[in-house]
Each structure stands twice: as structure tokens, then as C-alpha cells.
Amino acid sequence: MKVTVKSLAQAAGVSRGTVDRVLHNRGAVKEDVAKRVRLLAKELGYVPNRAGRALAAYKTPIKIGALMPSVGNAFYQEIIQGINDAQREFQDLGLEVVLKEVEGFEESVHLEAIDYLLKKGCKALCLATVNTEKVRDRVNELYDKGIAVVLLNTDIENARRLCYVGSDYLTAGATCAGMLALTRRDKLNILIVTGSRNLLGHNLRIKGFEEELKRQNINYQLVSIVESFDSDIRAQQVTFQVLKEHPEINCVYIAGAAVQGVGAALIANGKKDIFAIGFDELYSTKQLVSAGIIKFVVCQQPTRQGYHAIKRAYQAVAGQLSESVPDFITDTIIKIKANLDH
């Protein structure tokens, strides 16, 4: 038998309004009445009906805020694509998305953006933000206030949140190493080009990579690690320089963005037998894989990430979610020339 607000009210001997107040902590209800309703709701297994909810709250939409450091960054456009998909799908269920795009990873900019979203009246937030102490504190604070926070694409260590939606960077790194194990028998002299040593995701990709190399007993040497700060120009310069200084390098592992810059350096360098690996299926990386400059990229389904982050946040606000929400980890997808999307 289906449990509705009406039947719950009947069972508890109160009105529907009171049930609503109890279930959503709005308005004042005597504690013992509230307790009785809550108990009954749990016992009878009450689950709110989205259709009814959506219809009733049609003119007070569920506002969900999203923070993206997407300005001038093609990768985040893919996530935004997924956010838009979710918005379209759930709009007739009362969803409204407020998207705040910022440039870069500066802490103060991100904190300001969060404030902006809250001021806009968002009931839940999807954040692709930085792993710093102040941001973590802010997130914890929001969480304690009852605002559902979904961390998107990059997690924050030890933050209280609804869930994380994104890739498993450790596995992604390990997968690159596993592919090397499958394809190469000779000794590997590796250059790592990372985005920034301060970015959690990049570091995990390196950690997973090295762990798997060791686990599989690969004969390798780490020649150098350089930072590109996700700038293509810098990546090209620094990569070109190191390749010249170390002609023994036969493998380049690009842990961050700026794949295109590294590709340019590889082309300029001209050596044919360098095995290069990178991440993410952007226009530029697809070109490089197609041309054989990079042998494969490991991808993380950014569009699905955006879509599911919004969906989770919506479900949380709509009361569809149970106590503990598992993280949503996207697949670690190896793209070689043959299975690249066109």
C-alpha cells in the first residue's frame, strides 16, 4: 500500500499541513507530535512522490547552483554540457540551475562564487572547486546548515558532503601504467608533465601510475617531472627543453591538461619512438591520438559527471535520497584511435 502525506496524516491523527511541517522542518510543531509523525513515516516507509512535489512547487522551483572553473577551459565545457542535459530533463519537475563560471583555481574567487550562488537562493550546490582549507571549512559549514553539497570532478579531502561525483584518478593513473605494461617490453625512461603539484587529481594520477608500474615490475626510470600550470605554451617550452636535455626519454606521461602544448613539443622534437600518454577526450587530444603523436588517452566521462551531479543534488532536495549516498565514480575509459568518438 502506497503511503502519502494524506494517509500519514490520517495514521498520525494530525493534518496534512502538520505532516508537511514535520517532514520539512518548517514552522513549529510540538515535539511529541513531530516525533510521532517521524516515527510513523519511517515505519510505513513514506517516500515523497516527485510528481506531486513538482506540481505543487511549480512556482517555487528547486534552485541548484553549480560552480565551474570553466572560463577558457575546454574540458569543463563537457561537464557543463551534462549540466544542461540534466536541466532540460528535470525542468518539468521543478528544477532550475544557476551556473556560475569562473576562471582558474584561486581560492578567493571560488569562495565568492559560492556566496553568489547562495545569495541566488540555491538549495543545493554542485562544486568543481579547489582542495584548500578555507573552501573545505565553507563546505562543511554549508553541509551542517542542511545545504546539499555535491563535489564535482575533484573531491575535497575530509569534507562533509552529500557525495562526490567524478573520476577515480588513482585508477586512471594505474590504467596508463597497465597499458604500458601491455605494450612495452623495453626499459622506460619517463618524463611526467603535470599540471600543478597542488592539484589533487593530478597528484593522484601520478601516484596511481607509479604504484601500478611497480606492481607490475616494469623496468622504468623517472627522468623528470615538470609543471605546465595547464598552459599550453609553457607546456610546449618546458617539454621541448627537457626532451633536448634528455634524449633517452622514450615515454611522456601527461598528467594534467595542456596536452596540446606537449603534443606541439613532441612534433617539434621529431623523435618518432616516444610513447606519449594523456588524459581526456577533447578536440585537441583527439587530433593527437588520431595522428599517432599520443598513443591513447584515458577519459572520465565529464558529461555524465555534470549530469549526475545535478541529478543527485535534485534528488537530495526533493527528498528522494536515503541516508547515505554513495559516490558516483565514472568509468575509466581508454581511448585509442579505433574507439575515439568522431
Q: Which does 42 bind (CB under 5 to 8 A by kind): its own copies, DNA, none?
A: none
- By the 10 Å C-beta count (0-12 exposed, 13-18 middle, 19+ buried), 60 is classed as exposed
Q: Check binding of 20 to DNA (CB under 7 A).
A: yes
Q: Which does 225 bind (CB under 5 to 8 A by kind): its own copies, DNA, none?
A: none
Q: Check binding of 35 to DNA (CB under 7 A).
A: no
Q: Which does 234 bind (CB under 5 to 8 A by kind): DNA, its own copies, none?
A: none
User: Smaller CB distance to DNA: residue 32 or 341?
Assistant: 32
- The residues with which 127 forms a beta bridge, in sequence order, are 67, 151
Q: Which does 26 bind (CB under 5 to 8 A by kind): its own copies, DNA, none?
A: DNA
Q: Check binding of 120 to DNA (CB under 7 A).
A: no
User: Smaller CB distance to DNA: residue 156 or 318?
Assistant: 318
Residues near its own copies, by CB under 8 A: 47, 49-52, 54-55, 92-94, 171-172, 174-175, 177-179, 182-183, 212, 295-296, 301, 331-334, 336-339
- By the 10 Å C-beta count (0-12 exposed, 13-18 middle, 19+ buried), 272 is classed as exposed
Q: Which does 333 bind (CB under 5 to 8 A by kind): DNA, its own copies, none?
A: its own copies
Per-residue CA distances from 253 to 25, 224, 269, 279 (Å): 52, 10, 16, 9
Residue 112 CA, distance from chain mean position: 20
Q: Check binding of 29 to DNA (CB under 7 A).
A: yes
What is the smallest separation between the CB atom of 122 and DNA, expressed in angstroms? 15
Under 8 Å between Cβ of 236 and 208: no
User: Smaller CB distance to DNA: residue 5 or 139?
Assistant: 5
Q: Which does 253 bind (CB under 5 to 8 A by kind): its own copies, DNA, none?
A: none
Per-residue CA distances from 39 to 12, 20, 53, 130, 202 (Å): 10, 14, 22, 40, 46
Under 8 Å between Cβ of 226 and 252: no
Residue with cell 541548484: 64
What is the smallest separation between the CB atom of 307 and DNA, expressed in angstroms? 24
The CB density around residue 91, as the number of other CB atoms within 10 Å, is 13
Q: What burial letters (b/e) apply to 213-223, b meaning 16+ CB within 10 Å?
A: beeeebebeeb
Under 8 Å between Cβ of 152 and 82: no
Q: Which does 72 bind (CB under 5 to 8 A by kind): DNA, its own copies, none?
A: none
- Binding track over 248-277 against DNA, x by CB under 7 A: ------------------------------
37-96 residues in contact with DNA (CB under 7 A) are 48-49, 51-53, 55-60
Q: Is 45 left (phi over 0), alpha (psi -120 to 50) or beta?
A: left
Q: Which does 24 bind (CB under 5 to 8 A by kind): DNA, its own copies, none?
A: DNA
The CB density around residue 143, as the number of other CB atoms within 10 Å, is 16
Q: Check binding of 162 to DNA (CB under 7 A).
A: no
Q: Check binding of 15 to DNA (CB under 7 A).
A: yes
The site for DNA, by CB under 7 A, has a size of 33
Among 10, 30, 88, 337, binds DNA (CB under 7 A): 30
Q: Which residues contact DNA by CB under 7 A?
A: 2, 4-6, 13-18, 20-21, 23-24, 26-30, 33-34, 48-49, 51-53, 55-60, 319
